[in-house]
Amino acid sequence: MTWAVYDNSINTTGWAQLDIHSNQSLDDSRQAYYFGLIEGLLTADLIQLHWDNNIRHYCDKEKQFCQNLFAFIAKNIEFMKSQIKLYANSDEYWHQIELTLTQLTGLEDGYRSTMYGIRPPGSPHLNVNVTGLILMNLITECGELEQVLQRKVKSVDLNDGHCSAIVRVLDDGSDLLVSHNSWTTYAWMLRLVKRYNMNYSNISGTSQAFSSYPGVIFSIDDYYLINSGLTVLETSIGNYNNSLWSNVVADKVVFEFIRNTVANRLARSGREWSQIFGKYNSGTYNNQFMIVDYNKYKKGTLPAQLPDDVLWVLEQLPGYVESGDVTHVLRQQNYWPSYNVPYFKGVYDLSDYTSQVTKYGDFFTYNKTARALIFRRNAKQVTDMSSLYRLMRYNDFKHDPLSRCNCTPPYTGEYAIAARCDLNDPNGHYPFSSLGFRPHGAIDVKMTNKDLFSKLEMIANSGPTYEQQPPFQWSNTRIVGVLHSGQPDTFQFPPVHVKWAPSSLRNVSFPTTTTITNTIV
């Protein structure tokens, strides 16, 4: 049978936890549908809250844009259905797209059954509601779709930082650490950590653990631990070349969240992941993806002796994808940092980051942006999970010289590994909005290492960093007008060890003090 364990501990740990196992005696389509259905049934209350906080009012100010958006989505779904009809029986790529859409319709049916008493059809189907939960799965792609469809007042600033990440091989070769924190609006702080155990035929990633949100069938962050041996994570990148938006065509692309899902299921290596993800590139939710292959790493391997293909990187723009093995960077400097700026020169040049450098300076450079400098200064201090946690929660923006800017006051909570823009001065003066006061910052951290990964386990913390700054508290913030139904008032939760058993979120302790040197090496 299909079964699940659900534990809503958001008010005590900052996380709800969902662990779903599909019934391998069923065919793939029924597994996918019931998989979505049971998640929708169990988490409907959180889905409703997350919808109210982030989607319900999305169309209020510009209804014509949303009509165009719904038409774009409908045309894209019809394109995918046409390809599924032609190829799903012979091409595993399109079969997995079919299963992804089937899971999404099951999720919607389960949610509507619990919240509105609408009896689900009980069998697999592809009748995707273009005004329903697909919008929650597309929310990170809406920034680009607003550009493509020429929304007058954009809801997403493509300058916004969205995540910090690091891959760190310890100097003595004793471990390979991977960590990520998500930067986004504080309206998103209803969190789920999930494990999907899918018994589909012909997939490599049958079990995936990831941080996520209500009402979505992928991570969004993205941060995945996959039993194929791959850890997949990303930070977003911008596109300032408006001529590229013409490549985003409804009946020629597959949305990013679907390509992401399919690659995670099918890929057995970083190279394969990149090849699969690159097909039918949508040019939406453009990211720098990192694919860490723990199959290639053995404890005790010194950084200089790492084999090829431990780390692959892929970067995407509308009409263009570039990827490659970057393990040589780990060999040279023992870490790979990621901070929302393209690494590949072809991507950097094509997306016209140089125009932003001309306007705003080093914030848009790869080597001189603040987080690049902080990572360069502090990454070598990471010697274990405790010091990794301190780095990924680091924000001492009023005292760190690397957090200074041409601003009034002369520093910004954006210039940190874990941003806290809510602590910027509402009356301050900043060269562009991303550096100023807003309800935006790093809302979590997730970490794993070789041993934890082998069990698809992670250390995770939910909420903005409080190690060097006051904890975020809705009742004591200068932020107004941000919906946050269902969220705790205060986010000062300890990190938890995510294990996969009932009630398995276990508190862990890390030292919170850290020594920061001002020397840039």
Residue 372's pLDDT is 98
Q: What is the reported pLDDT for 162?
A: 84
Asked if residue 55 belongs to a domain, the reply is yes
pLDDT at 516: 32
Asked, for residue 520, whether it belongs to a domain, the answer is: no
Helix axes 92-116, 28-54, angle to 10 degrees: 50
pLDDT of residue 521: 25
Predicted local distance difference test score (pLDDT) of residue 507 = 67
Is 521 inside a domain boundary?
no
The mean predicted confidence, pLDDT, of the chain is 95
Q: What is the span of the domain harbouring residue 448?
A: 3-507
- Residue 517: is its pLDDT beyond 50? no
What confidence score (pLDDT) does residue 310 get? 98
**In the block, which residue shows the tokens 């977003």?**
236
pLDDT of residue 153: 87
For position 34, which CATH number holds? 3.60.60.30
Please tell me the total count of domains within the chain.
1
How many Å apart are CA 160 and CA 349, to the nearest integer? Answer: 19
Residue 180 phi/psi, 5° resolution? -155, 140
pTM, to two decimals: 0.96
185-196 pLDDT, tens digit per residue, is: 999 999 999 999
What is the sign of the dihedral through the CA atoms of 145, 148, 153 and 154? positive
Residue 319 has pLDDT above 80, yes or no: yes
Q: Is residue 233's pLDDT more than 50?
A: yes
pLDDT at 519 exceeding the cut of 50: no
Q: How far apart are CA 112 and CA 135, in angstroms?
A: 15
**Spatial distance between the Cα atoms of 106 and 101, rounded to a whole number of angstroms:** 9
CA distance 87 to 519: 57
Confidence of residue 37 (pLDDT cuts 50, 70, 90): very high
Residue 347 lies inside a defined structural domain of this protein? yes
pLDDT of residue 161: 66
For residue range 458-495, list pLDDT tens digits in order. 999 999 999 999 999 999 999 999 999 999 999 999 99
The pLDDT value recorded for residue 504 is: 59
Residue 516 lies in a domain: no
pLDDT at residue 481, rounded to an integer = 96
Domain assignment present for 512 = no
For residue 515, pLDDT over 60 is answered with no
Percent of the chain with pLDDT over 90: 93
Band of pLDDT at residue 502, cut at 50, 70 and 90 = low
- What is the pLDDT, as a whole number, of residue 353? 97
For residue 517, being part of any structural domain is answered with no
Q: What is the pLDDT of residues 247-289, one digit of tens each?
A: 999 999 999 999 999 999 999 999 999 999 999 999 999 999 9
* Lowest pLDDT segment from 151-155, 214-218, 377-381, 429-433: 151-155
514 occurs within a structural domain: no
